Amino acid sequence: MADVLTRRARLLGPHMTTFYREPVHLARGEGTYLWDTDGRKYLDCYNNVPHVGHCHPRVVEAIATQAATLNTHTRYVHDGILEYGEALTAKFDHDLDSMVMVCSGSEANDVALRMAQAMTGKTGVITTDNTYHGNTAAVSQLNTSKVPIGGFQDHVKRAPAPDNMMPPGGTREGQAKAFAEGVKTAIAELEANGHGVSALIVCPYFANEGFPTLEEGFLDDAIALVRAAGGIIIADEVQPGFGRIGSHWWGHQKLNFAPDIVTLGKPMANGHPVAAVITRPEILTAFQEGFKYFNTFGGNPVSAAAAMAVLNVIEDENLVENAKDVGAYAVGLLKELQTRYDVIADVRGSGLFFGAELWRDGKPATALCDAMVEEMRNRGVLLHTEGRFDNTLKIRPPCAFGRADADLLAETLDAAFGAVA
Ligand code: PMP
């Protein structure tokens, strides 16, 4: 292992991140399980990329068959992207029936920002004060974890991210108003500095903000303000999308709002690099008139086949219902643990995207949360942290996660809390 880490640091750079103090050196995966190079088995409770389960045979078969038939760049006509795009956009309401296929969530958000500019003629962007949307030069201006070289530019303004334990505005109910107030201030600043408002971009599950519990309508006032200022709404569904949250296919359906643009990525093709931007025809037209855009790999025949297989498996294996059922069951198990471990301050989530926020002595228990992640890893269960203080255990497994997996997760959490807390 030491040799591999040395090679990795030399080749990929010393700051190339790995999870865990003792990184997991993987060899293979199947369903909700992973095996390392020593043959040790891990329950994967974190990986949202292999959405339908690691190495799902139907996705593997679709990739292999298409790769053996044809793969090429995207300037030829091919049925794959059309069949997939029609099936995917059928999952959306609000005239969201046009699509650009790309290769990563970052690219999708980059395209979405440019669509908003082209549609509105403005350049200002509003997001939250604790977020991540990807890593192109334009998109990384939105991220809060690291100040970019040269600092943040003044076309990005932020509203206070909702939070279960420390809600802006003082109460959980009051934070929709606090968020709208923040958006109002941001709009005034962008109008004063000449940018104007092109878009509000948010993950509708506020995944990177710590996935707080929000009611339907949470964004309504903020959205009305953005629209009145001439801006449009981008829903970044890279994390909650494709039925993970159990109650709905998309996060924006849960909050019950109508985005103008939706961006998709991670789970879309079970690990094959596929992402997309879904929008209305007039926004796509404005984008194509405003920018020359071409993506060599986006929606190529193999990518389209992989994504189509994922969509079919979600349907055929009832994975949205599974996420709802097993997610609710697992949250129930975590709530039972909460009655026995007072460090568990909050248990929350929807479908197979849930977790537990840890506090001790009236403060976020960041170090304890980190120790839990390490302890779980050493006990063969992989999960990670999230939130402003990284004090929330984030659990977001493949959507093939079953009740027996949830039982193993809860038993291991019980043992780990016993050892660490
Ligand atoms: N949006 C969100 C909400 C994300 O969490 C991420 C990645 N963590 C991205 C976009 C970027 O996706 P990618 O890494 O595929 O570029």
Asked if residue 16 has pLDDT above 90, the reply is no
- Distance from C-alpha of 83 to C-alpha of 263, rounded to nearest angstrom: 19
Asked if residue 1 has pLDDT above 90, the reply is no
Does ligand 1 have an atom closer than 6 angstroms to the CB of 130? Answer: no
Does ligand 1 have an atom closer than 6 angstroms to the CB of 105? Answer: yes
ipTM, two decimals:
0.99
Does ligand 1 have an atom closer than 6 angstroms to the CB of 238? Answer: yes
- The CA 243 to ligand 1 mean position distance, Å, reads 17
- The CA 211 to ligand 1 mean position distance, Å, reads 15
Nearest CA, atom 2, ligand 1 = 133
Does ligand 1 have an atom closer than 6 angstroms to the CB of 104? Answer: yes
pLDDT for residue 50: 98
394 close to 421: Cβ distance less than 8 angstroms? no
Question: Average pLDDT of 375-387?
Answer: 97
pLDDT for residue 261: 98
Does ligand 1 have an atom closer than 6 angstroms to the CB of 387? Answer: no
Asked if residue 147 has pLDDT above 90, the reply is no
Question: Average pLDDT of 349-353?
Answer: 98
Strand partners, 68: none
Question: Average pLDDT of 301-305?
Answer: 98
Does ligand 1 have an atom closer than 6 angstroms to the CB of 133? Answer: yes
223 close to 201: Cβ distance less than 8 angstroms? no
- Distance from C-alpha of 156 to C-alpha of 258, rounded to nearest angstrom: 22
pLDDT tens, residue by residue, 319-333 = 999 999 999 999 999
Looking at residue 133, the DSSP 8-state letter turns out to be -
Tracing tokens 């890893």 back to the chain, one arrives at 377
**Tokens standing for residue 153:** 């530019």
Contacts of 323 (CB under 8 A, 6+ apart): 243, 244, 245, 246, 351, 352, 399, 401
Looking at residue 187, the DSSP 8-state letter turns out to be H
pLDDT tens, residue by residue, 91-128 = 999 999 999 999 999 999 999 999 999 999 999 999 99
- The CA 38 to ligand 1 mean position distance, Å, reads 31
What ranges in 132-219 are assigned the alpha helix state H?
175-192
Mean pLDDT estimate for the chain: 97
Does ligand 1 have an atom closer than 6 angstroms to the CB of 300? Answer: no
pLDDT tens, residue by residue, 251-293 = 999 999 999 999 999 999 999 999 999 999 999 999 999 999 9
42 pLDDT tier (thresholds 50, 70, 90): very high
- The CA 105 to ligand 1 mean position distance, Å, reads 5
- The CA 389 to ligand 1 mean position distance, Å, reads 19
Does ligand 1 have an atom closer than 6 angstroms to the CB of 66? Answer: no
Dihedral (C-alpha) 267, 389, 163, 327: value to the nearest 10 degrees?
40
pLDDT for residue 5: 92
Asked if residue 148 has pLDDT above 90, the reply is no
Handedness of CA 169, 172, 176, 179 (dihedral sign): positive
Asked if residue 149 has pLDDT above 90, the reply is no
- Distance from C-alpha of 140 to C-alpha of 350, rounded to nearest angstrom: 28
pLDDT for residue 249: 98
- Distance from C-alpha of 391 to C-alpha of 332, rounded to nearest angstrom: 20
29 close to 35: Cβ distance less than 8 angstroms? yes
- Distance from C-alpha of 340 to C-alpha of 118, rounded to nearest angstrom: 54
- The CA 342 to ligand 1 mean position distance, Å, reads 33
249 close to 239: Cβ distance less than 8 angstroms? no
**Tokens standing for residue 46:** 């974190």
Nearest to 31 by CA among 19, 42, 18: 42
- The CA 259 to ligand 1 mean position distance, Å, reads 18
CATH numbers and ranges of domains, the chain: 2-52+318-420 (3.90.1150.10), 57-316 (3.40.640.10)
15 pLDDT tier (thresholds 50, 70, 90): confident
**Tokens standing for residue 316:** 């055929």
Contacts of 409 (CB under 8 A, 6+ apart): 43, 45, 330, 333, 381, 383, 395
The pLDDT > 90 percentage for the chain reads 96
- The CA 153 to ligand 1 mean position distance, Å, reads 21
Question: Average pLDDT of 358-373?
Answer: 98
Indicate which atom in ligand 1 lies nearest the CA of residue 203.
3
